Amino acid sequence: MEQRALGPFRVGAIGLGCMNLCHAYGEPLSDAEAERLLLGALELGVDHFDTAALYGFGASETQVGRALARHRSRFTLASKCALEGRAGDDGVKRRVIDGRPEAIRRTCEEALRRLQTDIIDLYYLHRWDKAVPIEDSMGAMADLVREGKIRAVGLSEVSAVTLRRAHAVHPIAAVQSEYSLWSRNAEIAVLDACRDVGAAFVAFSPLARGFLAGAIRDAGAVDAWTAKDLRRGMPRFQREHLEANLRWLPDYLSLAAEADCTPAQLALAWLLHKAPHILPIPGTTKLAHLEENLHAARVSLTPDLFARLEALVNERTVSGPRYSAATQAEIDTEEFTASARG
């Protein structure tokens, strides 16, 4: 597979996001199933694994550590802090954003134990805690680099302005945000800012949470999702918006057929053709889907097909915001105005 820069590392252009193993969609994999998937990914040539303290409230890091620790020299390991599960007075764990230096240090120490490693290659601030100056959080991350606990620093779901403020404290190796044909916010400013400061842009949810893989063909599909499926709370999967988005899906599927690839491969190929500093990290629970995704690196898109694809799926044709108002308030990314969305 083509190699791309991920900060100081060289990795395959397509990595593996490890959220799906135990978090967000459907039933979590058993530990044995997760291990088979992770080891299978390694054998297929994946050398960039991305996890986080939040995923399964530590379960994903534990699964990655258990399966891959003995192969540590064969891949680049990324994880994230400042967004985790924390038990309340009732004993129930809930997601908490905490970017204080002491919280960052604690989360890193816990991650190192779960991942069964003495150093994390790329450690992201999963969310900027707006109650803490970004400079303070970056100071803590820089301390972890100096102490040899992490090799490089990343940010997730931040604006170009915040990226530049953070980069002034310590070099930023990568920014990770949602980016796909149907979530184009990165094109407003942060994609260019990454190029300017020499950071990679890691695209999560590059398949639009399954939509661009053709996994959702009718609005009734939502009814079969588990109660904990994150998409149930996302506006684009509410019936009115979903029905509107399903109207252009057949044309998208036709473009995939024209490109002689699967719908998922078309979405990933678009990202790879968009800019050389973009690295998508699709997640999956099925080895066959992973192999399909990796083959997207072989797909060639003509300029004409690329243009028609962008004209079909963009911020004006996709119905609904990507997050609810409450979730949107937690992130720092640039957003299209209502007029720009059409």
- Cβ(341)–Cβ(188) below 8 Å: no
Catalytic residue among 25, 55, 123, 323: 55
Residue tagged 């891949």 (tokens): 75
Q: Which three-class secondary structure string do you get for the chain?
A: CCEEEECCEEEECCCEECHHHCCCCCCCCCHHHHHHHHHHHHHCCCCEEECCCCHHHHHHHHHHHHHHHHHHHHCEEEEEECEEEEECCCCCEEEEECCCHHHHHHHHHHHHHHHCCCCEEEEEECCCCCCCCHHHHHHHHHHHHHCCCEEEEEEECCCHHHHHHHHHHCCEEEEEEECECCECHHHCCHHHHHHHHCCEEEEECCCHHHHHHCCCCCHHHHHHCCCCCHHHHCHHHCHHHHHHHHCCHHHHHHHHHHCCCCHHHHHHHHHHHHCCCEEECCECCCHHHHHHHHHHHHCCCCHHHHHHHHHHCCCCCCCCCCCCHHHHCCCCCCCCCHHHHC
CB atoms near residue 285 (< 10 Å): 17
10 Å CB burial of residue 105 (0-12, 13-18, 19+) is middle
Distance, CA of 269 to CA of 298 (rounded, Å)? 8
252 tagged catalytic: no
Residue tagged 């802090």 (tokens): 81
CB atoms near residue 305 (< 10 Å): 17
Residue positions annotated with a catalytic role? 55
